[in-house]
Amino acid sequence: MQLTTGFASPPIDAARAFRLVLDAMAHPARIVDLPEIEAPAPCSPAAAIVLLTLVDATTPLHLAGAHDSESVRDWVRFHLGAPLVGPQDAAFALGAWDALCPLGRFPQGSADYPDRSATLIVEAAELRNDGARLTGPGIEAEAYLALPDTAALQANAAQFPRGLDFLFTSNVQLAALPRSTRIGGA
């Protein structure tokens, strides 16, 4: 078994990574470049950095589909210590879109506590600023992001303030789609 390394300097690397993730979450559809890092297959470097920055022993993690591999599980155990759980208990989930669906399996938050919902890290082949038209908080006029399933994400946004938040990752790139973003329409 060969483990890949984590952050070289955890406090500084995590701080810089978080600012990029925060920038993405505050500007839905903005594609940010995270630093290169060794990631366990089939996990992208961007997804690995998000996990190292946000996930630890207090946040149950669900690995979906191909990401539920021996190498990823070992890496999570060593670097994060996060409990590996089913989708219904997850605070974070990692996988390809098809493996994560249906979205209703994840905690959606309650009307009282909408923050108690899962954040999904969706691995994509590429991130492109075309396709669905997005408006809402964080977007000055309009933005575009190619989405895997517009209808399912519209249904998620329609639950606001409940709902899931999405971090799309591809290689070293990351873009966010919080539940507050309105998808499609004029």
Partner 1 sequence: MTDYNFAYLDEATKRMLRRAILKAVAIPGYQVPFSSREMPMPYGWGTGGVQVTAACLVPEDTLKVIDQGADDTTNAVSIRKFFARVAGVETTEATARASVIQTRHRIPETPLTEGQILVFQVPIPEPLRFLEPRETETRTMHALEDYGLMHVRLYEDIAKHGEIARAYAYPVRVEGRYIMDPSPIPKFDNPKLDNSPALQLFGAGRECRIYALPPYTRVESLDFEDYPFTASKAAGQVCAICGAEDSYLDEVITDDAGGRMFVCSDTDYCATRVAAQAEDAA
Binding site for partner 1 (CB under 8 A): 10-12, 14-16, 18-19, 21-23, 25-27, 53-56, 58-59, 91, 110-115, 117, 119, 136-140, 160-161, 165, 178-180
Q: How far is the CB of 66 from partner 1 (least distance, A)?
A: 26
Toward partner 1, which CB reaches closer, 21 or 147? 21
Q: How far is the CB of 180 from partner 1 (least distance, A)?
A: 6
Toward partner 1, which CB reaches closer, 40 or 138? 138
Q: How far is the CB of 135 from partner 1 (least distance, A)?
A: 10
Toward partner 1, which CB reaches closer, 112 or 130? 112
Q: How far is the CB of 17 from partner 1 (least distance, A)?
A: 9
What one-character-per-residue DSSP string does the chain give? --PPP--SSHHHHHHHHHHHHHHHHHSTT--EEPPP----TT--HHHHHHHHHH--TTS-EEE-GGGS-HHHHHHHHHHT-PPB--GGG-SEEEEEHHHH--GGGS-B--SS-TTSB-EEEEE-S---S-SEEEESTT-SS-EEE--S-HHHHHHHHHTTTS--EEEEEETTEEEEE-TT-EES--
